[in-house]
Structure 1
């Protein structure tokens, strides 16, 4: 497969960057400064993550176009988890909070990643949306870190920067009991849907 463009992703997530690298999709990171608290968190989780992804797109720092008709592909995304008891898994505030989240997650979690992909065209010194898609992937998993392994696990990951203190990659993989849905979406990007949309948008050379 030959790539004729570069994807601009408005995310500093190491996991999302790793997924794109593993998929051999060329990309560059751009900044965004959205305030996610502007989105009503009491809505259905799928609506929350899609609206946050859309808000990130509004606040993304697009590079200036160089030539008339130039194309730009931009991706934003947001991931949230929910325990079976209905607790939204934000990033833990401290170690005790992380332990509480991990213990509750043993029963299973629902993880939803929303994404927003735009194809833009540089026209009259402005980026104009040519094609766009907003979608989400809904998956469930069981992440089971027994009490005997909690300190070992938390000592080896940056748990304060991970939603729900759940990291299913690397050392955390040994605690991932089951997945129903998209493994990549739980990590941070529903790669099948994104790859399909990129193809339909003409991201790949024909």
Structure 2
């Protein structure tokens, strides 16, 4: 198997995950900035590998499989770190909503692909808006909740933590809306498959 440049960028994003965890817990005043920078760099590689794949036609089945896995792993680990750094009920709830939705939608897409209906649950515009809000939230929160470097920096007149907190809540709510859209798009196929299964069972 030949690894393309986009796939190498995706692998680099996965290798950044343990580095993010290590840096997040470093007992230095710059650790919060470094953790946010690592996550930001991972987000850039996510955009870059897709751009390179489209621009230079470097598509591969392995890359198509690995890219969403890398994204979900990075987001999930970042959320776990944030909840550990700021262990409140609301933070845990928003994190659970986002991670739970990713698991459910991934399973739905896999099932739709098995029946040849994968295109019906493609990425929608609201999903892209959700992803943007989520990335901003995670950057702000990784910067502001590091256990060894508490900060109260201000951006646009607001504490960075509060910006991240509100953006994470918005991302979680958009997550629920986009999940409902995916389910609605897949529902006819789900019903057809159920009816076909019942019909097949009745003929036995």
Which category of TM-score, normalised to the shorter sequence, fits these structures? Answer: under 0.3
More strand by share: 1
Structure label with greater radius of gyration: 2
TM (norm. structure 2) is 0.28
Q: Larger % of helix: which?
A: 2
| Normalised TM-score (structure 1) | 0.27
